[in-house]
Amino acid sequence: MDTTVLRENTYFHEPALHLKVIKRDPELPYRLHSHEFHELVVVESGRGTNYTPDGEYPIAEGSVFYVPPGAQHGYKKLENLILYNIIWGADLVVDHRHDLAKVPGYSAIFERGALVLMHLSPSQLTELVPVIQMMEKEADDIAGRSGSR
């Protein structure tokens, strides 16, 4: 079966910053697809199923998972699912990989090459969502200043 490939040039229009935060409120069912970019998904509320060619994974409030470039996934069986997609270009962190590897948990999440699912507590999610919203605003402000939105 052919899958859709989401391309970097569809999402990143600011040459200096290949980073974007997209809030899906609500997320809709989405067929199997892959990306040219990295994606970190944080589920704010609701529930559903993230599926891959290898299986199905329930997701709900507090679920966090990473989708590396080229990995296939999709969404189905959604119930009021609200999530944030934090996406960044394949080259964004290349120059900082050595430093990032020293961050606790970095290797466990970003270097496994497969979908990694973890779950945040309600208090952790409450702390994280405002940080994501600040990232979203900052990335949008940079794109707006350059006229590349």
d(CA 144, CA 142): 5
Among 4-18, 54-68, 129-143, which is the least confidently predicted range?
A: 4-18
pLDDT digits (tens, 9 = 90+) for 49-102: 999 999 999 999 999 999 999 999 999 999 999 999 999 987 777 777 788 888
pLDDT digits (tens, 9 = 90+) for 15-44: 777 889 999 999 999 999 999 999 999 999
**Residue 149: per-residue pLDDT:** 47
Which CATH number characterizes residue 45's domain?
2.60.120.280
d(CA 83, CA 89): 20
Domain residues for the domain of 94 are 4-146
**Residue 60: per-residue pLDDT:** 97
d(CA 56, CA 68): 17
Number of folded domains that form the chain? 1
**Residue 93: per-residue pLDDT:** 74
pTM for this model (two decimals): 0.87
Region 122-141: mean pLDDT is 95
